[in-house]
Amino acid sequence: MRLTIIGTGYVGLVTGACFAEVGHQVICVDNDSAKVKLLQGGGIPIYEPGLEDMVRKHSASGGLRFTNSTAEGVEKSDVIFIAVPTPSLPDGSVDLSFIEKVAREIAAAMTGYKIVVDKSTVPVKTGDKVAETIKRYCKAQVEFDVVSNPEFLREGFAVGDLMKPDRVVIGVRSQRPVAAMKEIYAPFQAPIIVTDINSAELIKHASNSFLALKISYINAVSVLCEAAGANVQEVAHGMGMDERIGNRFLNASLGFGGSCFPKDLSAFIKIADQVGYDFGLLKEVQKINSAQMDRFVKKIVDTLWVLKDKKIGVLGLAFKQNTDDVRMSPAIDLCQRLVKEGAALRVYDPKAMDKARAILPNATYVEDMNEVAEGCDALVIATEWEEFKKLDLDRARKGLTHPILFDGRNLFDPAEMEKLGFIYKSIGR
Ligand X SMILES: NC(=O)c1ccc[n+]([C@@H]2O[C@H](COP(=O)([O-])OP(=O)(O)OC[C@H]3O[C@@H](n4cnc5c(N)ncnc54)[C@H](O)[C@@H]3O)[C@@H](O)[C@H]2O)c1
In the complex, minimum distance from the CB of residue 128 to ligand X, in angstroms, rounded to a whole number: 17
Of 35 and 311, the one with the shorter C-beta distance to ligand X is 35
In the complex, minimum distance from the CB of residue 36 to ligand X, in angstroms, rounded to a whole number: 9
Q: Which of 28, 260, 335, 376 is catalytic?
A: 260
Of 94 and 254, the one with the shorter C-beta distance to ligand X is 94
Of 153 and 235, the one with the shorter C-beta distance to ligand X is 153
Q: Are 50 and 160 in contact (CB under 8 A)?
A: yes
In the complex, minimum distance from the CB of residue 83 to ligand X, in angstroms, rounded to a whole number: 5
Of 329 and 426, the one with the shorter C-beta distance to ligand X is 329
Angstrom distance (rounded) from CA 376 to CA 332: 18
Q: Are 168 and 192 in contact (CB under 8 A)?
A: yes
In the complex, minimum distance from the CB of residue 6 to ligand X, in angstroms, rounded to a whole number: 5
Backbone angles phi and psi of 67, in degrees to 5: -150, 160
Q: Are 312 and 305 in contact (CB under 8 A)?
A: no
Binding site for ligand X (CB under 6 A): 6-12, 29-32, 35, 70, 83-86, 98, 101-102, 120-121, 151, 153, 155, 259-260
Of 30 and 324, the one with the shorter C-beta distance to ligand X is 30
In the complex, minimum distance from the CB of residue 198 to ligand X, in angstroms, rounded to a whole number: 17
Q: Is 138 noted as a catalytic residue in this protein?
A: no
Q: Strands 423-425 and 79-82, how do they pair? A: unpaired
Q: Please, which residues have CB within 8 angstroms of residue 350's CB and are 6 or more apart in sequence?
A: 369, 385, 387
Angstrom distance (rounded) from CA 69 to CA 31: 8
The residue sitting closest to ligand X, measured at its beta carbon, is 9
In the complex, minimum distance from the CB of residue 189 to ligand X, in angstroms, rounded to a whole number: 21
Of 333 and 377, the one with the shorter C-beta distance to ligand X is 333
Active site residue ranges: 260
